[in-house]
């Protein structure tokens, strides 16, 4: 039976609770507060840089935080250039950056894929429940958070074949 070291258990629990809190806040307010996302990002980087064992190698965590933010920021920029409005909030980009800082860049494609699939289904349900048009906004953070929880608890579930990365 595998032994989980106490620091990993504590750090993982902190990440898990933070993701649940962020999902609830975003679901209710359409906001992911910097007061939570930015410290989560920094703590993830510090943990992976200075603690052994960690969730991801330091270089993977740093690359993951940068790629996580830049990908969603760039996606929003492209959408804004085309539609003249934001398509995704920067809170989502900061959350994905934090997930990259904790879990490394290799986890990001699976997290994004699962969050997008859940967002398509959950967003459709959300919009029907709210009796809103398909063009209305819905919070994406809860889907990112849930995909991050899955990546944390069952990392092999979201592994894509390495030839795709």
- The answer to whether the beta carbons of residues 139 and 23 sit under 8 Å apart is no
pLDDT tens, residue by residue, 81-99: 999 988 898 999 999 999 9
Burial letters 70-99, b for 16+ CB under 10 A, else e? ebbbeebeeeeeeeeeeebbbbbbbbbbbb
Instruction: Give domain limits for the chain.
Output: 6-164
Q: How many other C-beta atoms can be found within 10 angstroms of the C-beta atom of residue 122?
A: 17
Question: Phi, psi (5° rounding) for residue 159?
Answer: -70, 125
Q: Is the pLDDT of residue 13 over 50?
A: yes
Please give the torsion angle defined by the CA atoms of residues 123, 124, 130 and 134, in that order, rounded to the nearest 10 degrees: 100
Confidence of residue 165 (pLDDT cuts 50, 70, 90): very low
Give 10-36 as a DSSP string: HHHHHHHHHHHHHHHHHHHHS---HHH
Q: Which residue has the higher pLDDT, 32 or 165?
A: 32
H or E element in which residue 75 lies:
helix 58-83
* pLDDT the model gives residue 1: 39
pLDDT tens, residue by residue, 123-143: 888 778 877 766 677 889 999
The structure's pTM equals 0.89
* pLDDT the model gives residue 4: 61
pLDDT averaged over the chain? 90
DSSP state of 131: T
- The answer to whether the beta carbons of residues 100 and 67 sit under 8 Å apart is yes
pLDDT tens, residue by residue, 41-84: 999 999 999 998 899 999 999 999 999 999 999 999 999 999 99
């Amino acid at each position: 039976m595998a032994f989980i070291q106490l620091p990993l258990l504590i750090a993982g629990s902190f990440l898990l609770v933070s993701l649940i809190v962020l999902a609830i806040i975003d679901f209710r307010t359409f906001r992911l507060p910097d007061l939570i996302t930015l410290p989560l990002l920094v703590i993830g980087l510090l943990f992976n840089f200075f603690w052994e064992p960690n969730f991801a190698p330091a270089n993977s965590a740093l690359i993951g935080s940068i790629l996580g933010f830049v990908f969603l920021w760039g996606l929003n920029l492209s959408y804004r250039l085309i539609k003249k409005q934001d398509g995704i909030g920067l809170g989502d980009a900061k959350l994905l950056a934090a997930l990259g800082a904790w879990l490394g860049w290799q986890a990001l494609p699976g997290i994004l894929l699962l969050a997008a699939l859940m967002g398509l289904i959950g967003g459709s349900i959300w919009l029907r429940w709210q009796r809103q048009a398909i063009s209305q906004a819905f919070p994406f953070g809860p889907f990112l958070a849930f995909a991050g929880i899955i990546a944390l608890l069952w990392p092999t579930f979201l592994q894509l074949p390495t030839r795709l990365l």
